[in-house]
Amino acid sequence: MIENILWIAVAFMLLGSIIPKKIRTRRLLCAIGWVFFSVHWFYQPAHYMEIGDHFNVLLVILVGIICLIIAHTMTKEYLSKDEKGPEPDITSMATIATALGSLFYFPFAQMEVLNIWIISQVTDNVFWMMGALGIPAEMTAWNKIALNGYQVEIILACTAIESIALFIGLIASVNAPLRKQAMAFLASVPVIYVLNIIRDVFVIVAYGYQWFGPNSFDIAHHTIAKIGSGIALFAVAYVVMRILPELTDLIEGIWLLITGFVQKLFYKVVGNQ
């Protein structure tokens, strides 16, 4: 059921993105896509609560709310009599970036052959790097690595495919020369992949050698690795935006859209009291 919702969301977003800008109906189609997309994210907290990843619980809820804010904004743009629409067209740019990123990510998430392929590739790369570093790890299965009697399973979330898809969507969505887009791609996707391999190695080593005591995996994976990944993605995003300044308008526009919506909602609630 949830898989169908994802494809429905992407279909509406793509359809709304390819329709000529002068046809306002495209904004309504995109808004519908964002609503379906929010359903996907609001479905995720249960999974992350099961594995004790409270950071991602809050993150997916926040993403779901942002999806609804964008859907609300695009609905207002559709109902507006202004045929030209806002400039720059932040909501349309965000929709294109999301649709393209989703088209890249969802096949890996939902097609078993691609899912197994990407996980096995990352597992092999992690195992190779640990061997190169002289760490006596053992591959106990196609997606499991053990160290010092402690075993870690590599899953899709350990492949950084979400972050890679995000940057692919963002880079492909901007109107910029192909050379600059290629430079931005090389400065982000390969870098993210390599940094993620290092991250996985750190988690396995910290857990295998119990660096942080009985809670080594939780501390290494849910805290230290999360903070490190956030800093790394911020640095990569900074470099990409230096190469593609057009992305600055998109990110700043989304931020202003969200903060503006929150401020209006706050004043409305306070004013009714």
Reduced 3-state DSSP string for 193-248: HHHHHHHHHHHHHHHHCCCCHHHHHHHHHHHHHHHHHHHHHHHHHHHHHHHCCHHH
Bond preceding residue 20 cis, omega within 30 of 0: no
Task: Note the pLDDT of residue 145.
Answer: 97
Task: Note the pLDDT of residue 3.
Answer: 66
**Distance between terminal CA atoms of the chain?**
41
Helices (H) and strands (E) in the chain, counts: 11, 3
Both tokens assigned to 63: 């993403």
What is the identity of the amino acid at 224?
I
Both tokens assigned to 254: 């989304």
Task: Note the pLDDT of residue 272.
Answer: 63
Task: Note the pLDDT of residue 82.
Answer: 58
φ, ψ (nearest 5 deg) of residue 45: -55, -35
Residues 6+ apart with CB under 8 A from 204: 126, 130, 137, 145, 147, 152
Both tokens assigned to 255: 């931020």
The residues facing 145 across adjacent strands are 139, 152
Q: Could you give the C-alpha distances from 260 to 70, 157, 201, 266, in angstroms and in order?
A: 12, 32, 41, 10
Each residue's pLDDT tens digit in the chain (273 positions)?
566 788 899 899 999 888 887 788 899 999 999 999 999 889 888 877 887 777 778 888 999 999 999 999 999 888 886 555 555 688 888 999 999 998 899 889 888 999 999 999 999 999 999 999 999 999 999 999 999 999 999 999 899 999 999 999 999 888 889 999 999 999 999 999 999 999 999 999 999 999 999 999 999 998 999 899 999 999 999 999 999 988 888 888 888 888 988 888 877 777 666
Global pTM exceeds 0.75: yes
Task: Note the pLDDT of residue 88.
Answer: 63
Give the CB-side neighbour count of residue 270, counting CA atoms within 13 A.
Answer: 6
Outline where DSSP puts E strands in the chain: 138-141, 144-147, 150-153
Helices of type H across 43-177: 45-50, 54-79, 90-110, 112-132, 161-173
Residues 6+ apart with CB under 8 A from 48: 54, 56, 57, 60
φ, ψ (nearest 5 deg) of residue 157: -65, -20
